[in-house]
Amino acid sequence: MRIRTVKKSKNLPRDVCRRAVAAWGEYLFGKRLAEHVSVTVHFDPRLIRTTTYATCEWGDEFPPRDFLITVSPELSRRMTLFSIAHEMVHCRQYARLIWRPIDEKTVRWKNEIYPADTDLSVSKYWLSPWEIECRGYEEGLYRMFMIEERRRGRVRNIP
């Protein structure tokens, strides 16, 4: 997996970010697919003034293999890792064609058609199956990474 970081997080060192993305990428994509995936994590100060912690975009190729995760640089270390973990699950959904937009108003999720509710204030968005899956993985991916970091002597406790 090719991993790149752009700009800096206030609370997460670049090497920790890269190790987390590498660990989660191999776990989520599998070793074979991970070899063909590229992830750029961009800490964009423009997100500070919004309610969005992070976003995920992909390139024009099909199926997608190049991903851009944009994260607010002001988040705590824990929230930064949670946000990146969440967006990495979206990368997996796109790369494996589990979730993909059909047009402006609809998406396909596991061969079922859903409305593309992108309004964060609408409860349907938060209950969409792709968001539920991402939120379900956040804590587990975070803990898996922190346990490995602790095992290697890089952190003392797991917050």
Per-residue tokens: 71: 């994260």
Q: 59-82, pLDDT tens digit by residue?
A: 888 889 999 999 999 999 999 999
Residue 27 pLDDT > 80:
yes
Per-residue three-class SS string for the chain: CEEEEECCCCCCCHHHHHHHHHHHHHHHHCHHHHCCCEEEEEECHHHHHCCCCEEEEECCCCCCCEEEEEECCCCCHHHHHHHHHHHHHHHHHHHCCCEEECCCCEEEECCEEEECCCCCCCHHHHCCHHHHHHHHHHHHHHHHHHHHHHHCCCCCCCC
d(CA 85, CA 91): 10
Supply the pTM of this predicted model: 0.90
In contact, 100 and 106? CB cutoff 8 Å? no
Boundaries of every domain in the chain? 2-149
Give strand pairing partners of 6: 42
Mean per-residue pLDDT of the chain: 90
